[in-house]
Amino acid sequence: MARNPYYPSALKLPYDDMIKLMRDEKLEIVVEKYLVAKLYVKTDPIIQKLNESIKFWSSMCWTILIISTLIIAYFYSWLWVIAGIFVGFLLVNTDSRNKKEIERSMHQYILTSILKNKDFYEKFIEDNAEGWYYEINEEQAKPYFQGEQK
């Protein structure tokens, strides 16, 4: 039977029942990407400073790369522009892979925290009404149903 998505406003699912349904693989919690990004930035001032530092040094690398490529191309050979573009693409791909890895680890951190900590689960429901939902069978959801489906 297919699982249906329900926002937390539609289901009042107590922590103990949520754990039981997750262990029985009858429930899945889906956290959407934008909420993961929002929580990632909100979590810690150290992470915010690190994020700003990464942006600064990334822009510095790009500036140095462009300037040095143009200088070398002017004095030696225009073929160095091709090498600079190649290195630029490598930097972009590395940066996007790092962002995806951070997003994946933050997503895993949220799900693990929900499963391990009842207070975190209840605060997560209270603070984040949108951006995540339960995927559960309609039969399994009936005892907890209190609103409309997603």
Q: Which of 123, 135, 105 shows the shortest CA–CA distance to 18?
A: 135
Q: Which whole number is the average pLDDT over 13-33?
A: 86
Q: What per-residue confidence (pLDDT) applies to 114?
A: 82
Q: What is the per-residue pLDDT across 52-82, written as a single tens digit (0 to 9) for each?
A: 777 787 778 888 888 888 888 888 887 778 8
- Give yes or no for residue 150 having a pLDDT over 60: no
Amino acid identity for residue 53 in this structure: S
- Give yes or no for residue 104 having a pLDDT over 50: yes
Structural tokens at position 128: 């984040």
Q: Which whole number is the average pLDDT over 133-148?
A: 80
- Give yes or no for residue 147 having a pLDDT over 60: no
Amino acid identity for residue 47 in this structure: I
- Give yes or no for residue 25 having a pLDDT over 80: yes
C-alpha–C-alpha distance, residues 127 and 129, integer Å:
6
- Give yes or no for residue 22 having a pLDDT over 70: yes
DSSP letter for each residue of 98-140: HHHHHHHHHHHHHHHHHHH-HHHHHHHHHH-SSSEEEEE-HHH
Q: In which band, very low, low, confident or very high, does the pLDDT at 98 lie, cut at 50, 70 and 90?
A: low
More confident residue, 42 or 22: 22
Q: Which whole number is the average pLDDT over 129-138?
A: 81
**Mean pLDDT for all residues in the chain:** 78
Instruction: List the chain domain ranges.
Output: 44-150
Structural tokens at position 66: 């462009």
Alpha-helical runs (H) found in the chain:
15-23, 33-43, 45-75, 79-116, 118-127, 138-141
Other C-beta atoms within 10 Å of 146: how many? 11
Q: What percent of the chain has pLDDT over 70?
A: 81
- How far is residue 144 CA from its own chain's centroid? 28
- How far is residue 80 CA from its own chain's centroid? 37
- Give yes or no for residue 1 having a pLDDT over 70: no
- Give yes or no for residue 140 having a pLDDT over 80: yes
Q: Which of 96, 80, 104, 84 shows the shortest CA–CA distance to 31?
A: 104
